[in-house]
Amino acid sequence: MHRDIENNEAGIFNRCFGSRAGRIVEIGCGNGRLTCHLEKHAESVLGLDPCEADLDQARQCVGTAVQLAVGSGEAIPLENGACGAVVFTLSLHHQDSARALKEAARTLNAKERILVIEPKANTLGANLFAVIDDESHRYVIAEAAIQDSGLKVVDYGDVLIHWTFEDYNEMVEYIFGYYGLNPDPERESAMAALTGARKNDIPLIVEDETRFWLLEP
């Protein structure tokens, strides 16, 4: 499986953090697949994630300027005004979104910014993952929290993403594996219906989208 990070989330980082941003806090750093790109735009990065196993993977790929810790955006372990930017990488909807945005604003230096990247619902990619875990209601809550936060939107946009799989079987195995599950016939059948005629494509390319907001107090 290949996900074109360079042309989506990493491209958003380039757009929003063209110059070095001092210390960046990444909320939901996971296995570090995007943290290494953030590192290019910061003097240091603090990556927070609730999953220690994912952090162990991240430690294998990030540089010496990155510190990793178990945590979430609801309680950032920094003093007021201690960082140059806060980034929610596909993670705001996994927590109390309103509380996390307030906490992020608390930690910012004067005139610094918060970047939120969230999945979009009703794309082929989102619908395939939703066969197992439909998070679309959480996306709505997260977007409402942004709108109600009192933060100013200084940039905003949608970014098209492509997932490339060797074939349909690899896609099914990847999606079930992401949730730590073995494929089952009922949900696999639902994925086949969503994929339609493309089920036989080699490679199989699945379109997805993310939406980003660049915010400032």
Residue 29 lies in a domain: yes
Residue 174 lies in a domain: no
Quote the domain boundaries for residue 45.
Answer: 2-121+134-164+208-216
35 belongs to a structural domain: yes
Record the tokens describing residue 20, joined without a space: 């070095």
Would 96 be classed as within a structural domain? Answer: yes
pLDDT for residue 40: 86
Q: Supply the CATH number for residue 56's domain.
A: 3.40.50.150
Residue 113 lies in a domain: yes
Query: Does the residue 88 lie in any domain?
Result: yes
Dihedral (CA of 92, 4, 210, 124) sign: negative
Total domains present in the chain: 1
pLDDT tens digits, one per residue of 107-138: 998 778 999 999 999 999 999 999 999 999 99
* pLDDT of amino acid 9: 78
Strand 204-216 to 44-49 pairing: unpaired
What is the number of H-type helices and E-type strands within the chain?
Answer: 8, 8
Better-predicted residue by pLDDT, 95 or 22: 95
pLDDT per position as a tens digit, 155-195:
999 999 899 999 999 999 999 999 999 999 999 999 999 99
Q: Is pLDDT of 5 > 90?
A: no
**Does 20 have pLDDT greater than 80?**
no
How do residues 6-16 score in pLDDT, each as one tens digit? 567 778 888 88
Query: What is the structure's pLDDT at 4?
Result: 67
| Mean pLDDT lowest among 14-18, 48-52, 165-169, 201-205 | 14-18
Residue 1 is predicted with a pLDDT of 74
**Is 98 within the bounds of a domain?**
yes
The better pLDDT of the pair 217, 100 is held by 100
Decide if 147 is inside a domain. Answer: yes
Instruction: Quote the CA–CA distance of 84 and 20 in Å, as a whole number.
Output: 9
Contact 39, 45 (CB under 8 A): yes
- Residue 37 pLDDT level (bands cut at 50, 70, 90): confident
